[in-house]
Amino acid sequence: MHEIIHAVPSEWAASAHVDINTYQDMYRRSVEDPDGFWREQAARLDWIKPFTKVKNTSFAPGNIDIRWFEDGTLNVAANCLDRHLATRGDKVAILWEGDDPSESRSITYRELHAEVCRFANVLKALGVSKGDRVTIYLPMIPEAAMAMLACARIGAIHSIVFGGFSPDSLAGRIGDCRSTLVITADEGLRGGKKVPLKHNTDSALTKTIGDEKVLVIRRTGGEVAMHAGRDFWYHEMAATVSDACPPEEMSAEDPLFILYTSGSTGRPKGVLHTTGGYLLHAAMTHELVFDLKENDIFWCTADVGWVTGHSYIVYGPLANGATSLMFEGVPNYPTNARFWQVIDKHKVTIFYTAPTAIRALMQAGDGPVKSTSRASLRLLGSVGEPINPEAWEWYYRVVGDNRCPIVDTWWQTETGGHLITPMPGATPLKPGSASWPFFGVQPAIVDAEGQIMEGACEGNLVILDAWPGMMRTVYGDHERFEQTYFSAYKNMYFTGDGCRRDADGYYWITGRVDDVINVSGHRMGTAEVESALVAHSGVSEAAVVGYPHDIKGQGIYAYVTLMAGVAPSDALRKELAGWVRKEIGPIATPDLIQFAPGLPKTRSGKIMRRILRKIAEDEFGALGDISTLADPAVVEDLIANRQNRK
Ligand code: WT7
């Protein structure tokens, strides 16, 4: 097969922070002398007390312990704000584009600094102090970034819950980390529709311990109930506090935030990131992978409810003193040209989005793109799931007019920032490959027995040693941290992803190999959807798998066995889809539901998901050995009634 390679344009090689020689030299040094390398790189941050120790990490069984710069102190908000005031006080920090195209705001570093200090004083007035957990359930408004930075300023640990999650999901996350404060808004606004955030918060708080306070930001002005003594308006409190608030001195290993993410089993895990290593990794990748220059307008289309928003809307860009565009809306509102119009309106130079959005907009044709200029663009990025070569080529040719390199960045909530990614001045691009490891990252591919394979090969992706931005633990459950990431292969971090490496050393992520599915770039545990389904009174058993979906990447396919006496019907199918949507949130809504009188189980009662995946993929000719099934006949029924027919 002929493989397309886009060479590094000579202007890029000449002007980028990192060219191929720099990449090779720096990479070699980063793995041969991690202490020396990271000691130097850590000078990107302003330290209150300089560290003397650099790396102190262990992947050893029974002793997973990750520490970077452990005796140094710093403050994240001071690094993102205060240190820019002298040179960039009047530079725009956050460029906000509302859901409605007539609404936008620009907030300079000086203004953001003052507002974050005010916000921090409001948190203090509500009794929040260092180490306390604060849940943030906000729409994409500047106050979301202010809330994060205000927490960081006083040393509180934020836990953001995406605004699309249900009251139950919100309650679970508030309870798991015992947040004492929830920051929300009256309503959110997305694609012209209102999202009842305060109302959802009220419902969530009927299911928690009940000692939480609520800080409410006014966004739409919609009518909301305020509970005296529990609920407080931000604008009222902000008017009573000063805009001076000294940053708290934090240890490099003090927690910065918790972010819940789905795994193959159980409830979502609270991924914990700390202060120094995380900020360094976010800032450094943001500068080098996007080749950031002083006048760039950087736009990452993610929501701050996901890690991409944490690292590449807020912490990375602001640590670098960049202008970060924050978008409240959706790609297809009011029209399919919205992204491209926003790029022209704000002269965006670097644009970072997800393959699912690219595929959806590609289906709308070239017209909406070509109705705009996009002349300001110089670099494109992709994140969240494997990008298929057709979508890559369209993004390159139509959106970027064959001018802009694409960085396909592979990483995870757990990794804090990019781990495998091209750098535009250094890496010849192969569409669909995340290419080479970032500095300090040592990927390897292992076979089923955990043996490391060399050269061109395919297997499971592991990382052999620690990097500064990696998660430190699962909040409140260090054993689960070890079990989830370090038990499959001893002394290695297991990513959960399958991967191929070609003869040129390029890594090609092939997708999850565990029971996690990737729906529109969002992670969903099949076990979570199953437990929501079986919570319905008509359902006796459920098994959920992913299947290929043209736009979402993967869709959610649910096999459902009903209780005796409950009749299958289209109405029930709809009801179950709505039920899951209400239990978890819209992103978990099953795309296809198949009623199955029985599920394929081994004689010991284990569901054979391999068979269910094949049938969901409409690949039932290749089921493999089914002789170990307790009742092979169920397979015939599953095939006959399959819901995905290509
Ligand atoms: C999973 C992590 C990274 C932030 C957004 C998602 C998949 C992510 C890529 C990519 C192929 C990718 C992996 C990974 N993934 N980026 N460029 N190419 N796959 O974070 O929710 O923690 O999901 O997303 O499967 O394990 P997340």
CATH 3.30.300.30 spans which residues of the chain?
A: 520-641
Determine the atom of ligand 1 nearest the C-alpha atom of 307. Answer: 4
DSSP code for 230 = T
Residue nearest atom 11 in ligand 1 by C-alpha distance:
386
List Cβ neighbours of 373 (8 Å cut-off, separation of 6 or more).
344
Assess contact for 319 and 283: CB atoms under 8 A. yes
Per-residue pLDDT at 622: 82
Helix axes 20-32, 34-41, angle to 10 degrees: 120
Per-residue pLDDT at 277: 98
∠ CA 133-261-521, nearest 5°, is 130
Place of tokens 């739409």: 220
Instruction: From 569, 643, 634, select the one nearest 601 (Cα to Cα).
Output: 634
Per-residue pLDDT at 471: 98
CATH 3.40.50.12780 spans which residues of the chain?
A: 10-330+405-500
- The 10 Å CB-count burial string (b at 16+, else e) for 145-171 is bbbbbbbbbbbbbbbbbbbbbbbbbbb
Check the annotation: does 24 bind a ligand: no
Residue nearest atom 20 in ligand 1 by C-alpha distance:
412
CA 417 to each of CA 289, 412, 513, 518, 522: distance values in angstroms, whole numbers, following the listed order: 11, 7, 21, 18, 16
CA 22 to each of CA 29, 32, 116, 316, 404: distance values in angstroms, whole numbers, following the listed order: 11, 15, 38, 22, 21
Check the annotation: does 581 bind a ligand: yes
Domain 10-330+405-500 belongs to what architecture?
Answer: 3-Layer(aba) Sandwich (3.40)
**Rounded Cα distance, 472 and 489, in Å:** 18
Cα of 368 to ligand 1 centre, how many Å?
28
Residue nearest atom 13 in ligand 1 by C-alpha distance:
385
Residue 575 φ/ψ, nearest 5 degrees: -65, -40
Check the annotation: does 512 bind a ligand: yes
CA 82 to each of CA 85, 113, 554: distance values in angstroms, whole numbers, following the listed order: 5, 7, 43
Query: Residues with Cβ within 6 A of ligand 1?
Result: 261, 306-308, 383-386, 408-413, 434, 495-497, 509, 511-512, 518, 523
List Cβ neighbours of 256 (8 Å cut-off, separation of 6 or more).
76, 152, 157, 158, 273, 274, 275, 278, 279
pLDDT, averaged per 10 consecutive residues of the chain (646 residues), comes to: 85 98 98 98 98 98 98 99 98 98 98 98 98 98 99 99 97 98 98 98 97 98 98 98 98 99 90 99 99 98 98 99 98 97 98 97 97 98 96 98 98 98 98 98 96 98 98 98 97 98 97 94 93 96 96 97 96 98 96 96 89 94 84 92 93
Check the annotation: does 534 bind a ligand: yes
Cα of 523 to ligand 1 centre, how many Å?
8
Place of tokens 């459920």: 542
∠ CA 80-81-84, nearest 5°, is 100
DSSP code for 420 = B
Tokens for 156, please give them. Answer: 């509180």
Per-residue pLDDT at 567: 97
Assess contact for 275 and 74: CB atoms under 8 A. yes
Helix axes 167-176, 197-204, angle to 10 degrees: 60
Written out in words, the top-level CATH class of the domain with range 520-641 is alpha beta
